[in-house]
Amino acid sequence: MRAVLWDLDGTLADSREFHWRAWRDTMREAGVEITEAQFLASFGQRNDAILSKWFGGRVPADRIREIGDAKEALYRRFIQDEGITPLPGAVEWLRRLHREQWRQAIASSAPRLNVEVMADVLGFKDSLGALVGAEDVQRGKPDPDVFLAAASKLGVTPDRCVVVEDAAAGVEAARRGGMRSIGVGGAELAGADVVIRSLVELPADAFGRLIP
């Protein structure tokens, strides 16, 4: 058995604009104005870390959770109301791998509800055997927990898994988990076994060469 473990944001779909608008509107409601530069510097981090930094540690943990939950609910509403487009090559690769009997999962640092909503709106669920989100693990990337959890749910050993990521922390998580990796992006992903700018650049036998 072989498996592909997909990161979500920036790999299968680009939801950055939805995250920015949700954070901007939620923080404004909480009485704090943030800049897009502040948002970009925090993108990909867990909500508790983001909010602790933006509030300077002055807000109780329950308030942090409340604001974070409000932001994620608004984000999901944007996705459901406006829809989201898969990144080039994403649909084709998920369908191809499904036909070739690779097991597939989304392994994301995002809240599980976000992962479920995005997978549903993108139309990916029929190709996936598991969805893993932030609540399923205690430690985020670059720790390998999210990928190990996804591999376990699929019933595939780590050495038979390929991780597809757009972030250096995700590539490092794959390495620590004993998995091969494909980096979608630039030179910052040099630690991956294969680095490409877009999924459409992947040769037809890319996954098979990594896991024969």
Q: Which of 184, 179, 178 is nearest to 202 (CA)?
A: 184
pLDDT value of position 16? 92
pLDDT in tens, the chain (212 residues): 999 999 999 999 999 999 999 999 999 999 999 999 999 888 767 788 889 889 887 789 899 999 999 999 999 999 999 999 999 999 999 999 999 999 999 999 889 999 999 999 999 999 999 999 988 998 888 999 999 999 999 999 999 999 999 999 999 999 999 999 999 999 889 999 999 999 999 999 999 999 99
Q: State residue 48's pLDDT score.
A: 84
What DSSP letter does each residue of 96-158 carry, written as one string? HHHHTT-EEEEE-SS-HHHHHHHHHHHT-GGG-SEEE-GGG-SS-TTSSHHHHHHHHHHT--G
- Measured CA to CA, the distance from residue 206 to residue 68 in angstroms comes to 38
The domain at 16-82 falls in which architecture?
Answer: Orthogonal Bundle (1.10)
* Cβ neighbours, 10 Å, residue 114: 23
Q: Specify the CATH architecture of the domain 3-13+86-210.
A: 3-Layer(aba) Sandwich (3.40)
Q: Which of 9, 48, 145, 205 is labelled catalytic?
A: 9
Write down the catalytic residue from 7, 81, 126, 145: 7
Would residue 48 show up in a list of annotated catalytic residues for this protein? no
Contact 22, 79 (CB under 8 A): no
Rg (the chain; Cα; Å): 17
193 assigned to active site: no
Domain ranges, ordered by start, for the chain:
3-13+86-210, 16-82
Terminal-to-terminal C-alpha distance of the chain? 10
* Those residues with Cβ within 8 angstroms of residue 210's Cβ, 6 or more apart along the chain or in another chain: 162, 180, 182, 193, 194
Per-residue DSSP letter, 192: S
